[in-house]
């Protein structure tokens, strides 16, 4: 087999892993939960279950990778990616669904910050662009997943009804993606440039450095508010991912159209994110984050005014552009602000805070929509992004030039 660089292997691992995890929820999760009789609030709770675990796991996982090595922690995540999809085949009720979602959430909670820390280890000057290219590789999987999931649901549905046969077909496909990710991860090298350079440092000395780095990360206002900003963006993304399919179904869109709507949104993120990462390297990250937040806010506010596929599509695409603009800059900015050797802790902290936003988005939106309807729920989330965009320049200062050197 041909040999690939660690970065290209990591991109392949991320592609298949995120394909698997995304298809497990988009668009099948809210539709399957509704099929089982779950309320809007319960659907939000199910959707949030997989990200709630990230609040507890991401920071320890990132910190552990600073000491234990990136590859070992990534392989642990791959074991979950490969096994979790097959557990959905045993789900018969809401609490079973929640349990499997929590277990599946371990995979992305561990893998997300550690993969980004590995990219930060490998690159410094082109960090924003390389992180964006890695993210785009994962987004290929994320963008294909809704198309594939919608097509499988349509192919295996009995007439207009989505039965368990269709759901099983989707989760078997998810399992295949998870196994492929695990096989690629096994080919990652045991050491990176950074670990080789630090081979003379004892484990005790490394733990002391990690604890010091962790204290610095958790007391750094710029890192924390940048992480909170990404959390706000994912708060909105969790809302769109969970309730846009239900809104689209309610206004008469087919399952295939719903999958197309979500898939094209992620295609926009995939295609524009490397360019946004390059722009953030050249022109700065802070202004780009503010613009992205405002674009996302406008898209959310306009959702209740869309009453068909062709009116909902541009709104969904605008939200995709918002995601690429913000998230191409946030992880790179956090890495810029952290010192070398603490990337895992810093990105783990960011992932933990982001998961709080991602998990609470469906829950809060579910309560808002359940109580006041879609006409209030989506615009309220949009206004929250506006508030964050106004506060971000106040709390986050540009990093000093020497901070960007890995």
The residues facing 161 across adjacent strands are: 158
Residue 262 or 209, more confident: 262
Residue 36 or 78, more confident: 78
| pLDDT band at residue 197 under the 50/70/90 scheme | very low
Query: What number is the average pLDDT over the span 320-330?
Result: 91
Please tell me whether residue 39 adopts helix, strand or coil conformation.
coil
Please tell me whether residue 254 adopts helix, strand or coil conformation.
coil
234-244 pLDDT per residue, tens: 999 888 888 88
Distance of alpha carbon 74 from alpha carbon 346, whole angstroms = 17
Instruction: State whether the Cα torsion 121-122-127-132 is positive or negative.
Output: negative
Query: What number is the average pLDDT over the span 143-172?
Result: 78
- Say what the pLDDT of residue 300 is: 93
Cα angle vertex 111, ends 106, 112, to 5°?
105
Query: What number is the average pLDDT over the span 285-289?
Result: 90
Query: What number is the average pLDDT over the span 274-293?
Result: 89
- Say what the pLDDT of residue 203 is: 58
Distance of alpha carbon 201 from alpha carbon 91, whole angstroms = 47
Query: What number is the average pLDDT over the span 184-205?
Result: 64
Decide if pLDDT at 405 tops 50. no
Decide if pLDDT at 403 tops 50. no
Query: What number is the average pLDDT over the span 15-21?
Result: 95
Q: What is the percent of the chain with per-residue pLDDT over 70, rounded to a whole number?
A: 88
292-308 pLDDT per residue, tens: 999 999 999 999 898 88
- Say what the pLDDT of residue 404 is: 42
Contact of 48 with 216, CB cutoff 8 Å: no
Decide if pLDDT at 336 tops 90. no
Contact of 379 with 304, CB cutoff 8 Å: yes
**This prediction's pTM:** 0.71
Helix axes 94-122, 6-23, angle to 10 degrees: 160
Query: What number is the average pLDDT over the span 67-73?
Result: 88
Residue labelled with tokens 């909902």 = 312
Decide if pLDDT at 291 tops 70. yes
Task: Find the helix or strand (DSSP H, E) in which 341 lies.
Answer: none
Query: What number is the average pLDDT over the span 135-146?
Result: 84
Query: What number is the average pLDDT over the span 350-364?
Result: 81
- Say what the pLDDT of residue 100 is: 92
- Say what the pLDDT of residue 16 is: 97
- Averaged confidence pLDDT in the chain: 84
Distance of alpha carbon 120 from alpha carbon 153, whole angstroms = 39
Query: What number is the average pLDDT over the span 146-164?
Result: 74
- Say what the pLDDT of residue 339 is: 67
Alpha carbons within 13 angstroms on the beta-carbon side of residue 206 total: 19
97-132 pLDDT per residue, tens: 889 999 999 999 899 989 988 998 888 778 888 888
Residue labelled with tokens 């009116």 = 311
Contact of 316 with 263, CB cutoff 8 Å: no
Instruction: Provide the CATH topology of domain 7-396.
Output: Growth Hormone; Chain: A; (1.20.1250)
Contact of 44 with 319, CB cutoff 8 Å: no
Length of the chain: 406
Domain boundaries, the chain: 7-396
For 310, counting Cβ atoms within 10 Å of its Cβ (0-12 exposed, 13-18 middle, 19+ buried), the class is exposed
Decide if pLDDT at 76 tops 80. yes
- Say what the pLDDT of residue 82 is: 96
- For residue 211, CA distances in Å to 63, 66, 192, 347 come to 9, 10, 22, 15
**Minimal CA–CA distance to 247: which of 321, 304, 317, 301?**
304
Decide if pLDDT at 190 tops 70. yes
- Say what the pLDDT of residue 208 is: 65
- Say what the pLDDT of residue 161 is: 53
Residue 230, C-beta contacts closer than 8 angstroms, at least 6 positions apart: 326, 327, 330, 331, 350, 353, 354, 357
- Say what the pLDDT of residue 224 is: 85
- Say what the pLDDT of residue 48 is: 77
Contact of 113 with 346, CB cutoff 8 Å: no
| pLDDT band at residue 340 under the 50/70/90 scheme | low
- Say what the pLDDT of residue 151 is: 86
DSSP-derived secondary structure letter, 304: G
């Amino acid at each position: 087999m041909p040999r690939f660089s660690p970065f290209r292997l990591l991109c392949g691992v991320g592609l298949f892993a995120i394909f698997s995890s995304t298809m497990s929820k988009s668009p099948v999760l809210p539709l399957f939960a509704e099929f089982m009789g779950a309320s809007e609030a319960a659907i939000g709770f199910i959707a949030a279950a997989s990200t709630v675990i990230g609040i507890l796991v991401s920071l320890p996982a990132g910190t552990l990778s600073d000491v234990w090595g990136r590859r070992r922690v990534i392989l642990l995540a791959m074991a979950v990616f490969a096994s979790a999809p097959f557990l959905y085949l045993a789900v018969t009720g809401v609490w079973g669904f929640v349990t499997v979602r929590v277990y599946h959430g371990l995979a992305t909670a561990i893998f997300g910050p550690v993969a980004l820390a590995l990219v930060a280890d490998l690159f410094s000057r082109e960090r924003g662009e390389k992180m964006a290219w890695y993210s785009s590789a994962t987004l290929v999987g994320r963008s294909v997943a809704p198309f594939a999931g919608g097509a499988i649901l349509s192919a295996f549905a009995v007439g207009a009804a989505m039965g368990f046969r269709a759901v099983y077909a989707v989760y078997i496909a998810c399992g295949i993606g998870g196994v492929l990710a695990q096989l690629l991860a096994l080919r990652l090298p045991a050491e990176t440039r950074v670990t080789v350079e630090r081979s003379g440092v004892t484990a005790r000395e490394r733990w002391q450095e990690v604890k010091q780095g962790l204290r610095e990360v958790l007391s750094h206002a710029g890192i924390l508010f940048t992480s909170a900003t990404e959390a706000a963006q994912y708060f909105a993304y969790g809302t769109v991912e969970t309730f846009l399919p239900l809104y689209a179904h309610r206004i008469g869109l087919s399952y295939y159209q719903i999958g197309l709507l979500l898939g094209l949104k992620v295609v926009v993120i995939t295609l524009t994110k490397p360019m946004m990462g390059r722009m953030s390297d050249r022109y700065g990250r802070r202004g780009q984050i503010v613009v992205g937040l405002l674009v996302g806010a406008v898209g959310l506010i306009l959702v209740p005014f869309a009453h068909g596929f062709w009116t909902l599509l541009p709104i969904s695409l605008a939200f995709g552009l918002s995601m690429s603009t913000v998230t191409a800059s946030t992880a790179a900015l956090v890495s810029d602000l952290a010192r070398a050797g603490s990337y895992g802790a810093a990105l783990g902290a960011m992932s933990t805070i982001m998961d709080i936003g991602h998990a609470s988005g469906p829950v809060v939106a579910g309560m808002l929509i359940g109580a006041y309807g879609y006409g209030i729920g989506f615009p309220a989330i949009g206004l929250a992004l506006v508030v964050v965009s106004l506060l971000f320049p106040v709390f986050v200062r540009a990093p000093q030039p020497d901070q960007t050197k890995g």
